[in-house]
Amino acid sequence: MEVFDSPDAARQFVSASRSQGRTVGFVPTMGALHEGHLSLVQSALSCEVAVASIFVNPTQFGPSEDLDKYPRPLTADLEKLKAAGVSAVFVPTKEKMYPEGFSSYVEPPQIGETLEGICRPGHFRGVTTVVLKLLQAVPASHAYFGKKDYQQWRVIEAMVRDLNVGTEIIGCETVRESDGLALSSRNRYLTSDDRDRALLLSETLRNVEAAYRAGEKRTDILQKEMQETLLGQQQASTDLSHEKMQVERTLDALDYAAIVSAEDLTPLTSIDRPAVALIAGTIGTTRLIDNRELRLV
């Protein structure tokens, strides 16, 4: 397995394969690899050459986010990629990606203005910029993104379409623990009590799908149910007994629990087209996101 730290060396490797007519599948990551990342690698292996990247991109983290403590187990990550059958890994340094004087950014598409775009100002600008830079260094035929980061996948699809990047973007299903928790590099921050409460995200998404399948299509009703499950009744009634407050499992903060159009993430009053339910919230000090597609029934 080749390991490149310079964009030029990575591009030479990938361009050589492409010019021989081979398909190249690319999986960009921030490392701390788990089975979710490795499922993207499995999909990329359907191409003739599979390439991954590991780069903790500073421009997509806000000033009070977890950039400094983000896990970086590089040796273990390289071993996992090698065992999975990846041909090359691009592991640039911060200086290689953002050399002195760097000042060009990609304006994210409109689909990035809602949800995460509101909660994490500047996040998608960092994502679109780094993904375009990664695709310049690794001009793959196909690139694989997790639907776990649903809006990110849609933002990248739109950017690649808008800017004529010649890479096909493929969204891959979310990999979960057996109890439903979506795998995330940030799960390692959770205490055992946090982890128990983190299950609320996938449980709430399963419940909303069940309610939808049982016939409820009004998104205001469904969203209210989601919010009540995630925050408990404490928002609505302040006279709950102390005892009840202690036993009720809730998130510590909810950024959003929304049902929007799956295609363009615009709000829906009724689920009359393919939709997606998305949740973002904080448990302890950890911000988690999850989502579930609601296909037409």
**CB neighbourhood size of 36 (10 A):** 19
3-class state of residue 90 by DSSP: strand
Closest to ligand AMP by CB, 33 vs 257, is 33
Which among 234, 293, 236 is positioned nearest to 262, based on CA atoms? 293
Closest to ligand AMP by CB, 141 vs 185, is 185
CA distance 91 to 29: 10
Cβ 16 to ligand AMP shortest distance, Å: 25
Cβ 185 to ligand AMP shortest distance, Å: 5
Cβ 235 to ligand AMP shortest distance, Å: 29
CA distance 235 to 293: 27
Closest to ligand AMP by CB, 25 vs 146, is 146
CA-based R_g, the chain, Å: 20
Closest to ligand AMP by CB, 36 vs 112, is 36
CA distance 273 to 296: 6
Closest to ligand AMP by CB, 40 vs 275, is 40
Cβ 30 to ligand AMP shortest distance, Å: 4
Alpha helix ranges (H) inside the chain: 7-19, 35-44, 74-84, 94-97, 116-119, 123-137, 150-162, 192-213, 219-231, 242-247
Closest to ligand AMP by CB, 189 vs 268, is 189
The answer to whether 149 and 21 have CB atoms below 8 angstroms apart is no
The answer to whether 55 and 97 have CB atoms below 8 angstroms apart is yes
Which among 153, 182, 101 is positioned nearest to 264, based on CA atoms? 153
CA distance 81 to 73: 12
Catalytic site residue from 34, 37, 123, 242: 37
CA distance 284 to 126: 25
3-class state of residue 123 by DSSP: helix
Q: Give contact residues for ligand AMP (rule: CB under 6 A).
A: 29-30, 36-37, 39-40, 145-146, 148-149, 172, 174-175, 182-185
242 assigned to active site: no
Cβ 131 to ligand AMP shortest distance, Å: 10
Which among 209, 149, 199 is positioned nearest to 178, based on CA atoms? 199
Cβ 184 to ligand AMP shortest distance, Å: 6
Report, as residue numbers or ranges, the catalytic residues: 37
